Each structure stands twice: as C-alpha cells, then as structure tokens.
Amino acid sequence: MWVSDDGKAAVYLAASAGFCFGVHRAVDTVYDQIKEGKPPICTYGPIIHNEMVVADLKRHGVVEIDDEAQLSGIREGTVVIRSHGVPERIYEQIRGQGLKLVDATCPYVKKIHQIVKEKSAEGFQIVIIGNAHHPEVEGIMGWCSSPAIVIGTEEEAQKLVESGIQKPLCVVSQTTFNLKKFHKLVEIITQLRYHESAILNTICNATEERQTEADAIAQIADAMIVIGGRNSSNTQKLVDICRKECESTFFVQTFDDLNLRLVPSRGIVGISAGASTPNNIIEEVSKQCRKTILLNRC
Ligand code: F3S
C-alpha cells in the first residue's frame, strides 16, 4: 500500500493480482516451444484470455486453432494445450494426426479430469458447478463417460433437486468459480440427502485467495480497479465481487482504458487483476495511479 504524504489518499495493490501458477506455466511453455525453433506451433484456443499476450505470440508465428474442424486441417508441427484443458477426444485427434502434443493443462484442472473420468466410470452422475460455455468446463465434460450436468445458478441447482435424479452424484467445480456461490449451490444440491454423493470443492487456491483479497480490499476502498482481459471469466468474477462491495469499480484491460478523472483523489483506491493479466500491465496501472492520485492531487 502506498499512502500520500498527508495520509488522505492511498493506493492498495492486491498481492494476489496477476498470473497464477497455471497461466504462468502455460505461457512459458509456448515461449519455450518458440525458443526450440521448430515451427509451426499452434495453441488450442488462445493460450490465455489476454489480447496483448496473444498478439505477441502471433508476432512470433504462433497460430491459434479455434475448434476441431480447424485442427483437422493441421498437417505438421506442435499443438500446445492451454491451462484450461481440453476434452479427451482432442488428445486423441492431435496424436492421431501425428502432431506433437505439448500439454500445458493446469495440474489442478488435470486433477478434475481424473476425478470425473473415474467417478463417471463408477456410475456417478457428474455435476459441474460452473459456466457450461467456458472452455474449462467443456474440457471437463469431455472426460466424463456419460453426459455431465452443469449448473451455475440457484435455479439450476433447484431444478436438479426437483428432477428426482436417482444416481449418486459427484459434484466438482470450475476452478475459477465464486467460492460463496459454490457453497450456496452445494447447500441446495445436498437437499438430495438420500444420495451417496461426493462433493469436491475443486476451486483452486489461487482463485480463492484472489477473490478473498479483492473482496476484503473492496470493502474498505472508495474505488476499485480490476485489470484483465475482456474474455477472462475469472476477471469478470472479480469485477462482480468488487462491485458488490464498492460501487466505483472500474474494469480495464490496460492503463489506456482507465479514466483517472473518474477515480476519487481522496480515500483508498484498490487494484486487483485476473489470473491472465501480465505483470507489466498491472505495474503500469499501479504506477500511473500512484503518480496521479498520490503525487498530483489537487
Ligand atoms: Fe490453474 Fe488455478 Fe490458475 S486452476 S490455471 S492455478 S486459476
């Protein structure tokens, strides 16, 4: 935390802001492949939800594959699987086409793949708490031997309870799901008490820590700045969490999106950032805020 000389303004940067371990690993993996110098190098989907990083990789010749149809057209080279993971059939397709597979799936996501694969084979109904259209959830679904149910709202959880489902449930979560919401949905699902259920909180610590810290800062802040990619779901969740506590929450991709005139020049300005936000962008926002709010206050 940086405080102005008169003690009337402060900028508080969350310690947990920025790349998580899994994203770091995935981005490093692609740059390592570039260094190896054996093109063409493709990533299955953008390696992270950050336009700046993706653009830099493109400048280095990295090609993004968006779906299975596009993958079918790749005849040579390396395919890197991003931290979100992919369905099992994509591994088979990459290998079947004789391509080199480099797996940068985050180990925490990989663990969920193993759980749902085993539990669905044992006859459990897999329930994924998360967003059905998020690539991580699509990937998890692709490791289940029978169709998974995805729920993201209390209404959907209630519907599941009312469906009279008879199979034992195995409940897992998207790694970046909101922790409080996860507990709420589990509370509803566990009304199905007669079932032998396995409830597994697979929200990763990095997400939990980031959300808890952003929540705590937002509670005392007069304005919050959340930095992250437009398509980053974990950043969007941070924005939602912060907005609940602090009305003046600004969602920016880079410093250029931030209108500092809207940020109060007194009180506390908190800064947090999603798991796919590079450090240089966080540093730039933090530096400019300190310069403007702490040094040039009127
Ligand atoms: Fe992995 Fe958690 Fe990041 S699951 S990709 S370390 S948010």
Fill in the amino acid letter for 124: F
CA of 83 to the centre of ligand 1 (A): 7
**Residues framing ligand 1 (Cβ under 6 A):** 20-23, 83, 106, 108-109, 175-176, 204, 206-207, 275
Residue with the larger pLDDT of the pair 292 and 144: 144
- Nearest atom within ligand 1 for CA of residue 23: 5
Judge contact between 71 and 65, C-beta under 8 A: yes
CA of 264 to the centre of ligand 1 (A): 33
What's the burial of 114, exposed, middle or buried (CB within 10 Å: 0-12/13-18/19+)?
exposed
Q: Whose CA is nearest to atom 1 of ligand 1?
A: 22
Is 156 catalytic? The answer is: no
**Which of 176, 233, 277 is the pocket-test mutation for ligand 1 (most atoms within 8 Å of CB)?**
176
Q: Whose CA is nearest to atom 6 of ligand 1?
A: 22
- Nearest atom within ligand 1 for CA of residue 25: 5
Q: What is the DSSP letter of 202?
A: -
Mean pLDDT confidence for 8-28: 93
Q: Whose CA is nearest to atom 5 of ligand 1?
A: 22
Tokens (6 digits) for 169: 């449930």
- Nearest atom within ligand 1 for CA of residue 176: 7
Does residue 298 surpass a pLDDT of 60? no
Distance in Å from the first CA to the final CA of the chain? 21
Tokens (6 digits) for 32: 């390592």
Rounded distance between C-alpha atoms, residue 180 and residue 187, angstroms = 11
**Which of 25, 49, 50, 83 is the pocket-test mutation for ligand 1 (most atoms within 8 Å of CB)?**
83
CA of 38 to the centre of ligand 1 (A): 28
The per-residue pLDDT for range 73-124, each reduced to its tens digit, is 999 999 999 999 999 999 999 999 999 999 999 999 999 999 999 999 999 9
- Nearest atom within ligand 1 for CA of residue 83: 5
The per-residue pLDDT for range 176-219, each reduced to its tens digit, is 898 889 999 999 998 877 667 899 999 998 888 999 999 999 99
Rounded distance between C-alpha atoms, residue 78 and residue 250, angstroms = 39
Averaged pLDDT of the chain: 92
CA 192 to chain centre: 30
Does residue 297 surpass a pLDDT of 70? no
**Helix, strand, or coil here: 28?**
helix
Mean pLDDT confidence for 120-144: 96
Given pLDDT bands bounded at 50, 70 and 90, which one contains residue 44? very high
Q: What percent of the chain has pLDDT over 90?
A: 77
> Could you say which of 136, 138, 208, 213 is catalytic?
136
What interhelical angle do 21-36 and 107-121 show, nearest 10? 110
CA of 82 to the centre of ligand 1 (A): 11
- Nearest atom within ligand 1 for CA of residue 234: 7
pTM of the model: 0.83
Backbone angles phi, psi at 130, to 5 degrees: 170, -165
Q: Whose CA is nearest to atom 2 of ligand 1?
A: 204
Of 147, 193, 197, 146, residue with least CA distance to 170: 197
Nearest-10 Cα torsion for 272, 275, 277, 280: 80
CA of 97 to the centre of ligand 1 (A): 29
**Helix, strand, or coil here: 67?**
coil
